[in-house]
Amino acid sequence: TFCASEEYFSIMYYLLGSSNSEMQLLPGEYVYPFTTTLPTILPSSFESEHGKIRYFIKAKVEIPWGVDFKVEKTFNIKTNVDLNNIAEAKKPIKRQVEKSFCCMCCRSGPLTMVLNLPHAGYVPGQNIPVILEVDNASNVDVDNVVIKLQKVIKWRASVPEIKTKTDIVDLVELSIGGVRGKDSKTYTQQFSVPVVPVYSLHPCSIMTCDYIFKNYGYFFKWKK
């Protein structure tokens, strides 16, 4: 078993009495309103199979020479992310992958795929214009090209030793067709970002949640 934990803030108030004084409460109902200010930077509440971020408010009545009375309630924090304030979100994205094929002593040219996005940041419900350039200089027919929008969650445990784990969830999958050997094509597609919860886990160092594009080519035929 591997584990890790972090505490992001802890605030304590004495609503009645203090750490070095006692007060007597007669039977009855008492209400003690209070407010507190949360830190400006907190990770969002988050629940998953392998990890969670939870926030609690706890109240305790200390009873001398008796059993303390305690109550606990969870509350959620949703950290809003303004893409206008993130410089990286405004930059265009261009990613290139290349694959070469060989059969016995024969080696063909590479398959090159270039993924282009106008910028890196998007919000749920927004359409993403995706341009995929496929240059198949090989002798292999690409039967199908698939683009996926994936949610990638990574965990990092530190006890008893450093251990990492990654879960990948496919949110959207789009099949756009194939490219024959010695041919090239450019595909322009609209991806609709699904309306799913978006988590900002900064400054958590145990878990990250990112959204990425992946493109795949599926190969079936070899031409001599």
- Distances in Å between the alpha carbon of 163 and those of 88, 121, 153? 29, 30, 14
Chain-wide mean pLDDT for the chain?
90
pLDDT of 161 above 90: yes
Domains, the chain: 88-222 (2.60.40.640)
- pLDDT band at 196; cut points 50, 70, 90: confident
| Per-residue pLDDT, 179 | 92
User: Whole-angstrom Cα distance, residue 43 to residue 216?
Assistant: 33
Amino acid at 187: Y
Cβ(216)–Cβ(149) below 8 Å:
no
> What pLDDT, in 10s, does the model give residues 25-34?
888 998 999 8
| Per-residue pLDDT, 35 | 92
| Per-residue pLDDT, 21 | 81
| Per-residue pLDDT, 184 | 96
